């Protein structure tokens, strides 16, 4: 029985083109007690592989977090399968706003300690005592309230290209860091302010809201389903959109455009630009913002050093990398001394 992905990304991309079918990109998460994540993982892999699902899914004792794509015409079968799993029955699926048939090219279902790397010791607080969930309409009202402090729970490279008007966007590389910064900043207002938070799909706020309540914040709210669900509701209910720019997403699309505002800058020339790229030097792979003309001048690299390495023949590059460890992660933090405008 096949339990792991066998095709390369290139082979998969060719198959998708050949099939010529539209694919849906979607995400979901659920905190639930899973007794044996490995068995559950294998079950998901076998079933979803047969439905031509691709994506990145994390399974842990605390639940499941999935970002995936599947052929649109198999959606009902997929949904039927989800409904056979008690804690996934009728779960909200966040369907991507911009579709791309190649958002994912492999099916990876991984067992992890946690479904989000939150750095928290969950035994120290009650994770089920979470904040009040609000939909788009209530959220829009709440964030206009002068008693409200709106906080972006994502990392710096996410909020940089898009965030809600007037949101606090901590300059952090990890979720754990932002918790401390926010707690510190808002210490005097634990009782008199509304702490309203949001993230991409809601999963991070689920923990953060429980954490802040544990820390003594009295009025804690979270945006239900995150930016993805907010955008859907805004469209469907014809509400005012208060999100500026792009929503960073964790698949090959990198981001979804929510409003036409460009709130970020090219990290090399400083011109307005809000599309991330990865440094072409495989040993670097830094995630950063690079406009089209800098991309051309810099050969898609983050620095002249990387440019020089990237020009070497593949074998020579490999030789250089020996013993360096692989930093081939497309979400490597976008920070580097060589980027002038970061």
Catalytic residues: 199
The contact mask relative to Zn ion for 69-98 (x = CB under 5 A, - = no) is ------------------------------
Query: In the complex, what is the shortest distance from the CB of residue 269 to Zn ion, in angstroms, rounded to a whole number?
Result: 3
The end-to-end CA distance of the chain, in Å, is 48
Q: Is residue 309 within the footprint of Zn ion (CB under 5 A)?
A: no
Supply the DSSP string of 191-214, one letter for each residue. Answer: TTSEEEEE-SSSHHHHHHHHHHHH
Q: Single out the segment in contact with Zn ion by CB under 5 A; choices: 75-83, 116-124, 298-306, 308-316.
A: 298-306
For residue 128, the cross-strand partners are: none
* Smaller CB separation from Zn ion, 222 or 268: 268
Which two structure tokens, joined as six digits, stand for 250?
A: 């964790």
Q: What DSSP state is assigned to residue 216?
A: T
As a whole number of angstroms, the distance between CA 95 and CA 26 comes to 4
The contact mask relative to Zn ion for 254-293 (x = CB under 5 A, - = no) is ------------x-xx---------x-x--x-x----x--
Choose which of 150, 294, 298, 309 interacts with Zn ion (CB under 5 A): 294
Is 48 in contact with 109 (CB distance < 8 Å)? Answer: yes
Q: Restricting to residues 109-138, name those near Zn ion by CB under 5 A.
A: none
* Smaller CB separation from Zn ion, 199 or 294: 294
Query: In the complex, what is the shortest distance from the CB of residue 255 to Zn ion, in angstroms, rounded to a whole number?
Result: 17
As a whole number of angstroms, the distance between CA 53 and CA 77 comes to 11
Query: In the complex, what is the shortest distance from the CB of residue 243 to Zn ion, in angstroms, rounded to a whole number?
Result: 25
Rounded-to-10 torsion of CA 79, 82, 86, 91 = -60
Query: In the complex, what is the shortest distance from the CB of residue 262 to Zn ion, in angstroms, rounded to a whole number?
Result: 13
Phi/psi at 19 (nearest 5 deg)? Answer: -65, -30
Looking at the chain, the number of H-run helices and the number of E-run strands are: 11, 14
Q: Are strands 194-198 and 148-152 parallel, antiparallel or unpaired?
A: parallel
Give the 3-state secondary structure of residue 72.
Answer: helix
Q: What is the chain's length?
A: 342
C-alpha distance from residue 142 to each of 31, 138, 188 (Å): 26, 6, 20
Q: What DSSP state is assigned to residue 125?
A: S
Choose which of 88, 228, 302, 309 interacts with Zn ion (CB under 5 A): 302
Query: In the complex, what is the shortest distance from the CB of residue 312 to Zn ion, in angstroms, rounded to a whole number?
Result: 14
The contact mask relative to Zn ion for 212-251 (x = CB under 5 A, - = no) is ----------------------------------------
* Smaller CB separation from Zn ion, 154 or 342: 342
* Smaller CB separation from Zn ion, 20 or 325: 325
Which two structure tokens, joined as six digits, stand for 325?
A: 């460890």
* Smaller CB separation from Zn ion, 148 or 297: 297
Query: In the complex, what is the shortest distance from the CB of residue 332 to Zn ion, in angstroms, rounded to a whole number?
Result: 10
| 275 closest CA partner among 231, 245, 307, 304 | 245
* Smaller CB separation from Zn ion, 127 or 298: 298
Query: In the complex, what is the shortest distance from the CB of residue 244 to Zn ion, in angstroms, rounded to a whole number?
Result: 21
Is 24 in contact with 70 (CB distance < 8 Å)? Answer: yes
* Smaller CB separation from Zn ion, 127 or 306: 306
Please name the residues in contact with 318: beta carbons below 8 A apart, sequence gap of 6 or more.
none
Contact set with Zn ion (CB under 5 A): 266, 268-269, 279, 281, 284, 286, 291, 294, 302, 306
């Amino acid at each position: 029985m096949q339990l792991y992905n066998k095709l390369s990304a290139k082979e998969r991309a060719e198959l998708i083109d050949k099939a010529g079918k539209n694919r849906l990109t979607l995400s979901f998460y659920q905190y639930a007690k899973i007794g044996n994540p490995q068995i559950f993982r294998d079950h998901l892999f076998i079933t979803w592989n047969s439905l031509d699902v691709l994506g990145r899914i994390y399974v842990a004792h605390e639940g499941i977090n999935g970002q995936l794509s599947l052929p649109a015409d198999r959606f009902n079968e997929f949904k039927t399968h989800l409904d056979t799993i008690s804690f996934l029955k009728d779960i909200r699926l966040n369907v991507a706003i911009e579709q791309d048939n190649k958002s994912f090219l492999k099916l990876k279902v991984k067992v992890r300690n946690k479904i989000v790397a939150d750095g928290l010791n969950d035994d120290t607080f009650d994770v089920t005592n979470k904040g009040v969930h609000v939909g788009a309409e209530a959220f829009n009202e709440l964030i206009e309230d002068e008693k409200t402090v709106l906080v972006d729970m994502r990392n710096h490279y996410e909020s940089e290209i898009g965030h809600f008007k007037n949101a606090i966007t901590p300059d952090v590389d990890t979720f754990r860091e932002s918790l401390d910064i926010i707690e510190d900043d808002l210490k005097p207002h634990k009782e008199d302010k509304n702490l309203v938070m949001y993230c991409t799909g809601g999963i991070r706020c689920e923990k953060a809201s429980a954490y802040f309540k544990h820390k003594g914040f009295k009025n804690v709210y979270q945006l239900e389903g995150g930016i993805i669900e907010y955008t859907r509701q805004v469209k469907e209910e014809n509400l005012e959109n208060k999100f500026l720019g792009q929503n960073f997403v964790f698949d090959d699309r990198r981001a979804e455009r929510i409003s036409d505002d460009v709130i970020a800058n090219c990290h090399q020339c400083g011109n307005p630009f809000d599309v991330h790229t990865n440094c072409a030097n495989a040993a670097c792979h830094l995630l950063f913002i690079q406009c089209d003309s800098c991309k051309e001048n810099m050969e898609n690299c983050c620095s002249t050093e990387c440019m020089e390495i990237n020009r070497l023949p593949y074998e020579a590059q490999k030789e250089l990398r020996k013993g360096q460890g692989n930093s081939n992660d497309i979400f490597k933090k976008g920070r580097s001394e060589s980027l002038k405008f970061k």
